[in-house]
A and B are shown apart, each in its own frame.
Chain A
Amino acid sequence: EIVLTQSPATLSLSPGERATLSCRASQSVSFYLAWYQQKLGQAPRLLIYDASKRATAIPARFSGSGSGTDFTLTVSSLEPEDFAVYYCQQRYHWPLTFGGGTRVQIK
């Protein structure tokens, strides 16, 4: 199975700052990588699919990049509602797998 490693585990930032989250795959997933945001007590929300395509109604401050084994989710300027846990997921090979998550918390 493809293992996704997210880093850092925790990111402490202030509102208005730029957040850069990393996801590394144990083997190539081409561009079949998605990013999700999850807040406490809520279901995950799809942010990015196919590495760089924003899902419906996702603000432009969220962007994704990468291909192969290295991917990045960038939040250009953190809003108060962006403090949450973020997961990457590969959709290239069964079984589908998720990364362990990055918590973005208020500094």
Chain B
Amino acid sequence: EVRLVESGGGLVQPGGSLRLSCTASGFTFVNFNMNWVRQAPGKGLEWVSFISSGITTTHYADSVKGRFRISRDNAKKALYLQMSSLRADDTAVYYCATEGFDDWGQGTLVTVSS
């Protein structure tokens, strides 16, 4: 069974940084591209970032480009999202998802507020 578990969310002040993690199990992580998607409270879905299985390719939404960095550790079966210069509009539940968006984690809430 595929399992994705996000962690690292919490309350952070505007301008601060946070690193999210997503640990994977139940599939061969090293073979899969991965994504981050977020959802602001009461709002729709927003794709955030993509990383290829071999870590050679990354893509970002314009709203986070230059502030967020996606990475992965295939040996640890882990996906990361380093977020910096956080703003109030980054407040959202952040989900990790497999390349085809077939499988999603339960999400971790990031709140940016003073």
Contacts and interface: CB of A to CB of B under 8 A. Distances in A.
A7 to B, nearest CB: 14
Contacts, number: 48
Interface stretch (A19-27, A61-69, A89-97): A89-97
Interface of B: 35, 37, 44-47, 50, 59-62, 95, 100-102, 104-107
Nearest to B96: A43
A38 B107 CA distance: 13
A46 B47 contact: no
Contact of A56 (B35, B50, B60, B102): B102
Contacts of B46: 98
Contacts of B37: 44
Contact of B101 (A1, A89, A97, A99): A89
Contacts of A97: 47
Interface of A: 1, 34, 36, 38, 43-46, 49, 55-56, 87, 89, 94-101
A95 B107 contact: no
B45 A98 contact: yes
Contacts of A34: 101
